Structure 1
């Protein structure tokens, strides 16, 4: 049996189990999704022809390519039906933990951009939900940010504390108002150095405030921007290893805590970086239809989460010395996952497929 076929059979077996053993057309969609995941990982590409060569679906490459193409063009393929059943596996073991979420945008396909919200996990970003827009550049609106959060919020464990981390695109008053009203949610967002604030009854800009490197200055009871939103906390956090300070707006009471969490976000390699030059080449897709790209992301995200899972297994089962150096490991969980899958195939071993995230790896360094 070929490596592609072995990989496909392992994937489809797990997908069918997690989807509750479907039948009929749903089963057909699950089978093609398994082929898509297999082909993306095998080719390290999302180009349909390249994926088809490694899909393991049987038949000729032209026929496989047509099946894959029909899948992402099929309006019956949705986030709710074709991603959520597997996302539940991701979130199942994280109830009660503090969950940091990050929102990011990136160009994708031909002339489109994706807005994605992810769970930060061991210096990686696990995709939770996304929206694709037919616009090549620019920022999404506050309303679009909030809409995506409304998709994710019901999926998160009820007992968990949530921390939202955003860069300067996400410091709008509308989004802050929304986040502040959510029970058990905190937020830290970067803001521009020329942002206006009212401090002690006088208006000023953040860059007009003098403070030294290696310090954290918390401004309490601040009114934010000309809209005079607040009171909020504004934090000026300057790590001496950086040339400039971070300007943050937050509802954390302690400025040091806000600075800590935002620095963790800066160390995270986003889903997009792993999906581009080091991963599945998602930015090279020729698809220009936003809905088709959104469906393609279902397969790409599941392939990515699977590789993260395999990376954790390489550590847990002490397989890293077989895949990399014995004295230290310079590879990310994603890269380790790819190498472990290659090892399974080369050594004719059972291929582990899962989308769960071991709690022991749920840390931010």
Structure 2
């Protein structure tokens, strides 16, 4: 692509200004890798070389330069990215920000742990960790430092809602979130013990008929009797799933809606893989190098999503999105816009802004699917266990 150097200039202005560089020589390979990733649409050091303008005569020289950068221990990917994501979030306008934690596996050998900001149907990476680990389940001690790292980049004064799946349900995590002052909605397993008094019973003990929701307030959970917390239990139709969610705040049907935002991180992983950058086609087999590669992915994701947001705000979406209503993610809209801008000679964004998770133009895949979507409907029962216990004791 002849105009890729224009993308390089835009990214260099952005990264050069908002990242903390110990050595400016580390900046240029990163910028070219992000530009090559956006232009080629794939994880390939060789493919990226095709878009680089440099004094190198041989493609192998550029490829080796990228490889050395990925293996360079002096490149601290998290300190570099913290400034960038912090800058993008500095214009955040909502009172609350939603974070999600999850993992994904690569080639059954590596595990990527990631915390994202939930943003308009997608997750924007904030921090991550890559380790050689064949399972998607990781211990609390492994990801605990990531929680503290997030604090440094969040806008001041915002309320934080933290979401995670049942693989992360751990009393130590609950305690950590309490210390940070974050609220949470975390799915738990059916064998979690619930204490409404002296006797503990597994959550599965509570029989739920189809489309029935039970809200238990002020209970203690696990053998550690952690709490007081609140539970939202439901048997969902038509998926026939049973949902068990623990919250630090009183639960309602809205609790299930809030927890459902967690699935946006899975869309982010999908963008990294088969729906976007084709991460699994990479031949890199080193946790440290993969972590720096995740920096390349994170910068590209943040840049493209921010660009897509700006395109929609300007009312120019339909220049790159063929749907009457928004049918593509902000990530994909931004990607199509950047590529078309390079061909058409349009100006490229040199700023980042994630202003609000509220979506003014929700994505609609098709009118028929939108018409078939049904709101959550449950027959609800709410029990305040602290009051119930007091009543039983007074009766006795």
TM norm structure 2: 0.84
Runs of 4+ in 1 over 6 A off after TM superposition: 362-365
Q: Distance in 1 between matches of 2:54 and 2:148?
A: 36
Q: Report the 3-state secondary structure (helix = DSSP H, G, I; strand = E; otherwise coil) of the residue aligned with 1:71.
A: helix
Task: Specify whether residues 83 and 55 from structure 1 end up closer, same or farther in structure 2 by C-alpha distance, changes over 3 A only.
Answer: farther
Matching residue of 1:8: 8
Secondary structure of the corresponding residue to residue 23 of structure 2: helix
Q: Distance in 2 between matches of 1:141 and 1:225?
A: 17
CA distance in 2, matches of 1:189, 1:326: 35
RMSD: 2.3
1:90 aligns with 2:88: yes
Q: 1 CA distance for matches of 2:54 and 2:305?
A: 24
5+ long unaligned stretches in structure 1: none
Aligned residues: 361
CA offsets per residue over residues 35-54 of structure 1, 9 Å max, x none? 01001111112221122223
Verify: 1:217 aligned to 2:214, yes or no: yes
Farther-moved stretch of structure 1 (284-293 vs 263-272): 263-272
Give 1:57 shift. 4.6
Matched, 1:119 2:117: yes
Deviates further, 233-242 or 121-130:
233-242
CA contact (8 A) 1:162 1:186 kept: yes
Partner of 1:155: 153
- Are 2:269 and 1:272 aligned? yes
CA distance in 1, matches of 2:165, 2:342: 40
Contact 1:58 1:64 in 2 (8 A): no
| Cα distance, 1:82–1:268 mapped onto 2, change above 3 Å | closer
Contact 1:112 1:134 in 2 (8 A): yes
Superposed CA offset, 1:162-206 (max 9, x none): 1110001111111112112322x1011101123222234433222
In 1, Cα distance between equivalents of 2:250 and 2:361: 20
CA distance in 1, matches of 2:11, 2:234: 45
- Between the aligned partners of 2:46 and 2:110, the Cα distance in structure 1 is 21
- Please report how far the alpha carbon of residue 220 of structure 1 lies from its aligned counterpart in structure 2 after TM superposition: 2.0
Q: SS where residue 42 of structure 1 aligns?
A: helix
Is the 2:94–2:356 Cα contact (8 Å) retained in structure 1? no
Aligned to 1:346: 343
1: CA distance, partners of 2:210 / 2:236: 6
Please list every run of 5 or more consecutive structure 2 residues that lacks an aligned counterpart in the other structure.
363-396
Matched, 1:231 2:228: yes
Corresponding residue of 1:137 = 135
CA distance in 1, matches of 2:287, 2:108: 9
Q: Deviations over 1:15-66 (max 9, x none)?
A: 223248x6xx722211111101001111112221122223445534222111
Q: 1:164 aligns with which of 162, 165, 168?
A: 162
Structure 1 stretch displaced more, 193-202 or 216-225: 193-202
Q: Alpha-carbon deviation of 1:280?
A: 0.9
CA contact (8 A) 1:145 1:175 kept: no
Partner residue in 2 for 1:108: 106
Residue 35 of structure 2 corresponds to residue 38 of structure 1:
yes
The question of 1:320 aligning with 2:321 is answered no
Q: Is the alpha carbon distance of 1:19 and 1:115 closer, same or farther for their aligned partners in structure 2, counting shifts above 3 Å?
A: closer
> Which one of the candidate residues 193, 198, 214 is aligned to 2:195?
198
TM-score (norm: length of structure 1): 0.91
Q: Distance in 1 between matches of 2:125 and 2:148?
A: 15
